[in-house]
């Protein structure tokens, strides 16, 4: 049981936020350089989601 909680908490606190932030920065840069507002907004939303997802999900996992 403890191993499952450890893997779940590491996944939601370290892996998913980094992936979301990386994709968000890529979309943000691509949207600014190509002047596409949809990509820019999606990048901003993903970047902020990367910062808030652990605080929303981890209380339920732990």
Q: What is the pLDDT of residues 37-60, one digit of tens each?
A: 999 999 999 999 999 988 988 888
pLDDT band at residue 1 under the 50/70/90 scheme = low
What's the pLDDT at 13? 87
Q: How is residue 19 written in tokens? A: 């992936």
Helices (H), 1-62: 2-10, 16-34, 37-61
Buried b (16+ CB within 10 A) or exposed e, 22-37: eebeebbeebeeeeee
What's the pLDDT at 57? 87
Global pTM value: 0.82
Domain boundaries, given as residue ranges, for the chain: 9-61
Instruction: Let me know if 3 is exposed, middle or buried by CB neighbors in 10 A (0-12, 13-18, 19+).
Output: exposed
Residue written as tokens 């350089």? 33
């Amino acid at each position: 049981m403890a191993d499952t909680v450890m893997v779940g908490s590491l996944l939601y606190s370290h892996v998913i936020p980094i992936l979301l932030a990386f994709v968000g920065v890529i979309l943000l840069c691509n949207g600014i350089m190509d002047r596409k507002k949809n990509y820019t907004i999606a990048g901003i939303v993903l970047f902020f989601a990367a910062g808030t997802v652990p605080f929303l999900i981890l209380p339920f996992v732990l």
